[in-house]
Structure 1
Amino acid sequence: MKDLKVEAIIRLVRFVMQNNYFKYNGQYYHQIRGGAMGSPLTMTVANCYMFFYTRDIVRQIDNSGGLYLCYINDLFIIINWPVRHFMQQIDRWNKFDENIKLSVNISPYADFLDVHIENKDGQLFTTVYYKPSYEPYYLPFNSIHPMHMKKNIPFTILLRAIRYCSIFQAYLDEREKLRMALLLN
């Protein structure tokens, strides 16, 4: 790989992206737009594209003293701009690429990935966030999975609660929910 020129890598990536085929109901299809879901190459290309897409956005946020976080295609921005100005910026950013649309949630709380973040009278509070489709089911203890996997589940979900709950009472509430969920499995 070290001897490959950038142009060769770009040509190889383009070849793979333009030659995606899949089979559905016994019929073969040629994907003409986008990339194969879950493909390591598609994810890499998407991450590279988003890096360049968000460069100007990140620069503006940083220059204004705001906070910009990104995980794959989820963005989280905190900035002290007037709402009207922020909405104009979102409209402008949404014109960078018609296939990418930024949505806005202006409120004292937000859910980013699996963290609920809330501003209560100038204090920032965080807890674990569960999507509406969440079901409290974990790997049943009597499954045939290796014991280390079964033992790791309580450790991992409690560690997440410790990391995400900014106040002790929120942690205790979360721990009780997890205890009940694990007992029901």
Structure 2
Amino acid sequence: MELLEFGLTTTYFMFGGQLYQQKLGTAMGSPVSPIVANLYMEDLEQTAINTASEHIKPRFWKRYVDDILAVVTKGSTRILNDHLNSIDMSGNIQFTSEEMENNSIPFLDTKIVSREDGTIKTVVYRKKTHTNQYLNFQSHHPLTHKLGVVCTLA
């Protein structure tokens, strides 16, 4: 535990020739960061769901890292969003929400479309800001990460 705490609280980085110490959160690119972030988010979401009143409790809830897809009663999105934002006492986690538009909603790299017969279909979705750039091959990432991007896209 001491080693984990040391690794999480002594993060330094260089920007514009200046050395900085990260004061909040885990270091991007650190192997332990996704694990710690996932554990924190899991605890946060369990607390949020367990303390939500019945009329705003999601009927469906799926999360990938910090993106959540939830099915809620019509008209309760804002109330649920406010409830989620009240759980993190540090005030550092800020949830935002989107509602279905034209019977569809984006989630990760997909668009979920609700059909008239009650079924759903998914299609590939790219945000307007998508640049088709994934990982610069000249970056200092390990070669396995660079090759992983290519394999995933293929």
Q: TM-score, normalised by structure 1?
A: 0.60
Shift of 1:89: 2.2
Amino acid corresponding to residue 47 of structure 1 in structure 2:
N
2:127 to 127, 131, 139: 131
2:62 to 50, 64, 69: 69
1:101 to 87, 94, 103: 94
Runs of at least 5 residues in structure 2 that lack an aligned partner in the other structure: 135-146
Farther off after superposition, 108-117 or 98-107: 98-107
RMSD (Å) for aligned C-alpha atoms: 2.9
Instruction: Confirm or deny: 8 A CA contact 2:58 2:71 kept in the other structure.
Output: no
Are 1:112 and 2:107 matched, yes or no?
A: yes
Larger Rg: 1
Distance 1:19 1:39 in 2: 12
Distance 2:49 2:108 in 1: 19
Q: Which residue of 1 aligns with 2:43?
A: 52
Structure 1 runs, 4 residues or longer, greater than 4 Å off: 58-61, 135-138
Distance 1:87 1:137 in 2: 34
Are 1:41 and 2:36 matched, yes or no?
A: no
Secondary structure of 1:12's counterpart equals helix
Shift of 1:27: 2.5
Secondary structure of 1:53's counterpart equals helix
Distance 1:51 1:96 in 2: 12
Q: Which residue of 2 aligns with 1:17?
A: 8
Change in CA separation of 1:115 and 1:60 when aligned onto 2, cut-off 3 Å: farther
Distance 1:135 1:23 in 2: 26
Change in CA separation of 1:78 and 1:136 when aligned onto 2, cut-off 3 Å: same
Shift of 1:25: 3.0
Q: TM-score, normalised by structure 2?
A: 0.70
Count residues with an aligned counterpart: 132
Distance 1:91 1:58 in 2: 13
